[in-house]
Amino acid sequence: MGLLSDPNRRRALTNLLTRLNTPICLVCYVAGLAWFMGLAFEPFTLRTYMSENAMGSTMVEERFPAGERALATGREFAAHKRKAGGMPVDWLVKTMQARGLEVYTQQFSRTLPFPDENKERYMVKGTNVYGILRAPRASRTEALVLTASCSEGSGNHQAVGLLLGLAQYFRNQVYWAKDIIFLVNEYDLIGMQAWLEGYHHTNITGMDYTPLQGRGGSIQAALSLELNSDVITSLDLVLEGLNGQLPNLDLANLFYAFCQKIDILCTIQGKLQRSDWDTPSGYTHAAQTMMLMVMKQASGRSWGDHGLFLRYHIEAATIKGINSFRQYKTDATTIGRLLEGMFRKLNNLLERLHQSYFFYLMPSLHHFVSIGYYMPAFGLLAVILLLKALDLWVQLGTPPPGTEDGVAGVEPASSPSVLSILTPLVISHMTGAALYTLPIRSQEMAVEHFPVSETEAVVLTAIAIYTAGLALPHNTHKFLVGEGTDKGWKVLKLVALLYLAVLLGCTALINFSLGFILAVTLVPIAAFVTPHRPKVISTTIMVLLSPGFTLLYCVFIYQELQESPVSLGEGWMLYLSVISQGILDHSLYGSLVYPLLALFVYPCWLLFWNILFWK
Amino acid sequence: MAPRSSIAFLLAFAAALCSLQLCEVSDDLVQTQSEPEPFTEPNQVPVDGTLEKPGEVPPIASYSDPIEESHDDKQWQATEEEAIAKPEPDEEIAPLSNFKDDFKEELVIRPLHSGDIYASFQFRTLWDTDFLQGKRVSHYHLFPKSLGQVISKFSVRELHISFTQGYWRTMQWGQPYLPSPPGAELWVWFQDTVTDVDGAWKELTNVLSGIFCASLNFIDSTNTVHPSASFKPLGLGNDTDPRFLRYAMLPREIVCTENLTPWKKLLPCGTKAGLAVLMKSEKLFHSSFHSEAVHIRPVCQDVDCKAPSWELRQTLNVVFDVHTSGQGKKEWSLFKMFSRTLTEACPLASSSKVYVDVTDNPQGELFELLPASPLLSQAVVLGDRRTYSVYDLTNKDTFGSTRSLNLLVRWKADSGEMVRPLLHSERYVAGFGLQTGEIHTLIYNYHPYRAFPVLLLETVPWYLRLYIHTLTVTSKGKENKPSYIHYQPSKDRLRPHLLEMMVQLPPNSVTEVTVQFERALLKWTEYTPDPNHGFYVGSSVISALVPSMVAMDTNNSQEQPLFSSFFPCKEESSFFVRIYTEPLLVNLPTPDFSMPYNVICLTCTVVAVGYGSFYNLLTRTFQVEEPSPGLAKRLANVIRRWRGVPAL
């Protein structure tokens, strides 16, 4: 720090930074992107390994024999479900009781803020059924959870059948040290949310539910099972949970280890792991897998029923059966054995899973990028904001060379009034607040006056407010009295730069993917916007790099990565549904992406928009 | 060396005496008797005139505690005694007349509605002596010497200790005969002559730790409380000053064979004869629930209660799971449960019996019991009139031609719905995150029309900081004001929270007691080796006088004479129940104690240093300061100021 205390050296350093500011920023930006893309290159990443001692060294045997019977139970369940026209509660209760479980039910109801058109839900009323297998000689302090959802349309019958089969098999084993809860939840995530809130006696989303009667202590880990097709060729592991939270990496390791042991094809993001990392196609494959993970994580939604467990510090993952039309088929017995093995190892846990990483990206199921490796990519982008801020700070500190000898007007012009900075800040945040609150509140009005459905009304209102926000510079100017100075926009930009840096930094700490995607698009405009650029081009660039458009690109890129590209029209419809899902996720499960974008990121972008139109 | 040799001599003498007088007893008994004793020095604690006034009957309603606990005691004893003192042809004489002691053993088997089997062993040794009368008791016969010495050395009035593995499932199994919380529980009443109760308690826990091979030495001031109302003496004596009571619970204690073996050695016959032959560790621990306990208390010698006698009651409760070991067949026998059969009674026992609860099976439609017993007995146990088939092991006919008794229970029908126990409770931690949380205790009263009060005792370790102002008690959606609250706040690293309160439970209701807490940050050496497992909070204890099932029965008038049934019988109208909730496992904020943790610490230091310099640069202005004037100049200035002359 002596370097900075010495005035001469300090001056030399700042001179260097201000003189070479733009090239350094460019280099940083390119380096950040390159670093990020390099993460998918296998030699740069680590192989996964089991950190948890209790799960690594202890060998367990898998002997689950009754896959066929489980499938039969699944068919029976499907028949009863058809007959009951929903969740066959009585049948489930009876079946679980016959298997020697303590069975309880929970009713819940929830009215969505506006109809969910993807899943055709509005007023949801359902029942969760769960049975607790009490471990012998255990004192109800720890539990494991296995869930399978039962929604009206999708056929998760096999999963329910397998769950019941496993319950029966587990009941006859003597080695359990933790209670095991078998949960069949209706309306997938909504039921799950109700059950978890009931279990932990919280209410964060305004759900109506009946209190739970039976509990098993603190839940250590949970697995959620989704087997939607009759033929299963591979199993996919879904990790991304609410707000981009991930379970401990050891859970993924456990799954991978057992897939290897039992010889099941396993995938992550629906992609197999390849060994040809040194070929371009091998690298592209890994990069695609990683990008998919980044996209999913950035969305902040729960990509399986497991996602809601993570808030309660319960490690959870979803195992999804996939039919990819391969020769190789996996039967129910094998999946049952996989689950048995995983549960036995989880049962051996002495502590909660904590040894391995909580922050990671996976370019394939057997390689991972830890937080130490991916954070520099973000850091390189974030440092641009700081460099620019430093540059501005230095510029504001040294008097402009033209007026150095002229005495008049240096001091009064140099300090722009607080008002001129505060006004754009307040106005853009009010726009953000409007974007956050109005779409849901004004849906009835919109439906009355326009020929749209409620969902469309909400989404279109949001887009309308977003667009209306762009007209703001003309309005803010009316409030400003002594605006127009060069220093005015510089101070505003300095504030905006620091604001954005803090915002992105915090976001990246919690949800790296979201922070990184926002940084990639917002940092260039934040760095280079000034009132003196050519208006038409810079306006176009600003709009194209705004958060709304970022979301649109993400939709297209995601579809591209999923290898199901969409046309522009379809993409647009998808875009609308993604917005509505984001708003729904926020009000149903407490996802934070929508409020973050509406209340902070969008206003921040508006500040830069203001600077562009500074007169 | 002198005391040692004298003890050895005494031991040899005792052994000789035993073998001489009980020549038919096998050698192991002698071994038990002549076990090396845990104390090397003779006990010297003089006890002067501690005995309760002999004329005084156990106190009844003489003190004004909220639940009339004395009444409970009486009830508890009454039911216990009823359960034990069955009509029996007691022609067995005590083996020795000069040792006024008596040993009884008993096994109760109760087929549970869930299909499980509940087996409860009870061994009672009664000795008409007084450990506290000043003179040293050195000749032991049936009463284990190790415990006798403990009683006299520490002036213990009552001692109750239990080791339990598993949680008693009240909703499936009903009430246990003797409740116990998961882990270890110890509560002791000291004589009121003990001056340093805490010291005696500390030493006692360490001694008991050695006797029972348990981690009782982890009992210290941070988990010891003295409850004011929940635990009253069960035996003779009217002093209920909680200063002489110590109560501790170790919810994390794992109970296994090493605890069972010393427990078995306390029995007069060991495991060589009598009911104790059934105690094979690998079977007893292959069960859903396992609990062993030792209760010592003074009781009346006879009706007049002129002198006390000491009762040692050893109990072992096991619940066997029909599912996991029955291979689907619903059939049970002593051999299947214990891999042994009964062949003889303990020769030292004055009574040795096996009871099988056949209340739910009057016509044999639910299960078949082989061999059938001609002897039936009835007793009111836990407020319910039960019928038992009795097998008297002292009777040769019991064993039949095979010379062994192998009771067999064969289920015929699926067991029906069980009657819900009237009192049930549940406990859990609500909320998420590592900062705060909320402890919920739910108490269910399933009685259709009667309200009754319960005493709730919660002991919470200090590292959960209770916000006592958030304590709420609600029943049926309304606030339920406790009529008695005793709260002792915790002191960090010294003592736990103690919360005792009496709540009236409305009929057919759920009463919810909630209190919020904050999780404390421990010092880094205070974490256990497995901090991510969580920290245990012991069970809360609910003591209640529950209206009895018998009194609830509305059509019992048909069998009994009319004149007997108008007013509810006092003895049977309610019974004392103590239930324990499940312990809690709470996660505290935990550093990860690993390399990244160190890295974070290091980085934070570097950042702090860097931040400091940056902050200096940004906020301070640097200017050259004049060197401070010398001492002489300053002195001169002081003087000049005095004189009113401008300074130099």
- Alpha carbons B227 and B499: distance in angstroms, whole number: 9
Strands B484-488 and B541-547: unpaired
Provide the token pair at A406: 């002229």
- Measured in angstroms, the CA of A352 and the nearest CA of chain B are apart by 6
Please give the pLDDT value at position B85. Answer: 39
Please give the pLDDT value at position B328. Answer: 56
Alpha-helical regions (H) of A51-98: 53-56, 67-84, 89-98
Residue A215 contacts B, CB cutoff 8 Å: yes
Which residues in chain A are contacts of B414 at CB distance < 8 A? none
Please give the pLDDT value at position A546. Answer: 92
- Alpha carbons A307 and A300: distance in angstroms, whole number: 10
- Whether the CB-CB separation of B355 and B388 falls below 8 Å is answered with yes
pLDDT, one tens digit per residue, over B519-560 is 999 987 888 888 899 999 999 999 998 887 665 555 544 555
Between the CA of residue A289 and those of A120, A358, A371, what are the distances in Å? 30, 19, 17
Residue A8 contacts B, CB cutoff 8 Å: no
Which residues in chain B are contacts of A144 at CB distance < 8 A? none
Residue A173 contacts B, CB cutoff 8 Å: yes
Nearest Cβ partner for A136 among B287, B532, B617:
B287
- HSE-up (13 A, CA, CB side) for residue B108: 24
Which residues in chain B are contacts of A351 at CB distance < 8 A? 530-533
- Whether the CB-CB separation of A207 and A196 falls below 8 Å is answered with no
Burial class (CB in 10 A: 0-12, 13-18, 19+), B484: middle
Residue B128 contacts A, CB cutoff 8 Å: no
Q: Which of A141, A197, A243, A249 to mutate to test the interface with B (most CBs of B within 10 A)?
A: A141
Between the CA of residue B616 and those of A237, A388, A477, B8, B589, what are the distances in Å? 51, 22, 38, 80, 34
- Whether the CB-CB separation of A370 and A359 falls below 8 Å is answered with yes
Which residues in chain A are contacts of B584 at CB distance < 8 A? 141, 217-218
**Which residue is listed with tokens 């641009």?**
A384
The pLDDT confidence band at residue A614, using thresholds 50, 70 and 90, is: confident
Give the residue on A whose Cα is nearest the Cα of B534: A351
Residue A312 contacts B, CB cutoff 8 Å: yes
Length of chain A: 615
A49-58, A345-354, B7-16, B290-299: range with lowest mean pLDDT? B7-16
Residue B530 contacts A, CB cutoff 8 Å: yes
pLDDT, one tens digit per residue, over A365-397 is 999 999 989 999 999 999 999 999 988 888 887
N-to-C CA span, chain A = 40
Contact across the interface for A136 and B532, Cβ inside 8 Å: no
Contact across the interface for A174 and B325, Cβ inside 8 Å: yes
Q: Is the pLDDT of residue B2 over 50?
A: no
Please give the pLDDT value at position B487. Answer: 94
- Alpha carbons B450 and B326: distance in angstroms, whole number: 40
Which residues in chain B are contacts of A213 at CB distance < 8 A? 426
Contact across the interface for A351 and B531, Cβ inside 8 Å: yes
Angle at B176 between CA B163 and CA B74, to 5 degrees: 100
Give all strands of the β-sheet with A360-364 in edge-to-edge order.
A46-47, A367-370, A360-364
Nearest Cβ partner for B585 among A137, A141, A311:
A141
Mean pLDDT computed over A103-114 = 92
Q: Is the pLDDT of residue A587 over 60?
A: yes
pLDDT, one tens digit per residue, over B387-403 is 898 999 888 888 888 88
Residue B167 contacts A, CB cutoff 8 Å: yes
- Measured in angstroms, the CA of B364 and the nearest CA of chain A are apart by 24
Contact across the interface for A100 and B165, Cβ inside 8 Å: no
Count of A-B CB contacts under 8 Å: 96
Give the residue on A whose Cα is nearest the Cα of B164: A137
Tell me what the pLDDT averaged over chain B comes to: 79
Report the greatest alpha carbon distance in chain B: 128
Please give the pLDDT value at position B359. Answer: 82
- Alpha carbons A184 and A130: distance in angstroms, whole number: 6
- Measured in angstroms, the CA of B291 and the nearest CA of chain A are apart by 10
Taking a contact as any Cβ pair under 8 Å apart, which residues of chain A between 324 and 363 contact chain B? 350-352, 354
Burial class (CB in 10 A: 0-12, 13-18, 19+), B149: buried
Q: Is the pLDDT of residue A484 over 70?
A: no
Q: Who's near A334: CB < 8 A, 6+ residues apart? A: A67, A262, A264
Name the more confident of B9 and B367. Answer: B367
DSSP secondary structure, B303-364, as one string: SS--SEEEEEEEEEEEEE-HHHHHTT--EEEHHHHHS--B----TT-SEEEEEEE-TT-TTS
A526-530, B9-13, B379-383: range with lowest mean pLDDT? B9-13
* Backbone CA torsion sign across A251, A257, A258, A263: positive
Task: Work out the percent of chain A whose per-residue pLDDT is above 70.
Answer: 93
Please give the pLDDT value at position B489. Answer: 94
Mean pLDDT computed over B446-475 = 93
Contact across the interface for A351 and B533, Cβ inside 8 Å: yes
Q: What pairs with residue A412 in β-bridges?
A: none
- Measured in angstroms, the CA of B530 and the nearest CA of chain A are apart by 7
A131-140, A545-554, B69-78, B597-606: range with lowest mean pLDDT? B69-78
- Alpha carbons A104 and A212: distance in angstroms, whole number: 8
Residue A5 contacts B, CB cutoff 8 Å: yes
Taking a contact as any Cβ pair under 8 Å apart, which residues of chain B between 316 and 355 contact chain A? 321, 323-325
Q: Who's near A8: CB < 8 A, 6+ residues apart? A: none
- Measured in angstroms, the CA of A573 and the nearest CA of chain B are apart by 37
E-state strands within A32-141: 46-47, 102-116, 121-133
Mean pLDDT computed over B399-410 = 84
Please give the pLDDT value at position B562. Answer: 58
The pLDDT confidence band at residue B18, using thresholds 50, 70 and 90, is: very low
pLDDT, one tens digit per residue, over A315-353 is 999 999 988 877 788 889 999 999 999 999 999 999 999
Tell me what the pLDDT averaged over chain A comes to: 88
Residue B287 contacts A, CB cutoff 8 Å: yes
Residue A171 contacts B, CB cutoff 8 Å: yes
Contact across the interface for A313 and B432, Cβ inside 8 Å: yes
Taking a contact as any Cβ pair under 8 Å apart, which residues of chain B between 413 and 472 contact chain A? 426, 428-434, 438, 440
Taking a contact as any Cβ pair under 8 Å apart, which residues of chain A between 452 and 511 contact chain B? none
Burial class (CB in 10 A: 0-12, 13-18, 19+), B15: middle
Mean pLDDT computed over A539-545 = 92
- Measured in angstroms, the CA of A13 and the nearest CA of chain B are apart by 14
Which residues in chain B are contacts of A217 at CB distance < 8 A? 428, 582, 584-585
- Measured in angstroms, the CA of A473 and the nearest CA of chain B are apart by 33
- ipTM for this prediction: 0.89
Which residues in chain A are contacts of B586 at CB distance < 8 A? 218
Contact across the interface for A141 and B582, Cβ inside 8 Å: yes
Provide the token pair at A178: 């933790």
Give the residue on B whose Cα is nearest the Cα of A314: B432
Which residues in chain B are contacts of A139 at CB distance < 8 A? 166-167, 182-183, 251, 582-583
- Measured in angstroms, the CA of B571 and the nearest CA of chain A are apart by 34
- Alpha carbons B164 and B262: distance in angstroms, whole number: 15
- Measured in angstroms, the CA of A349 and the nearest CA of chain B are apart by 9
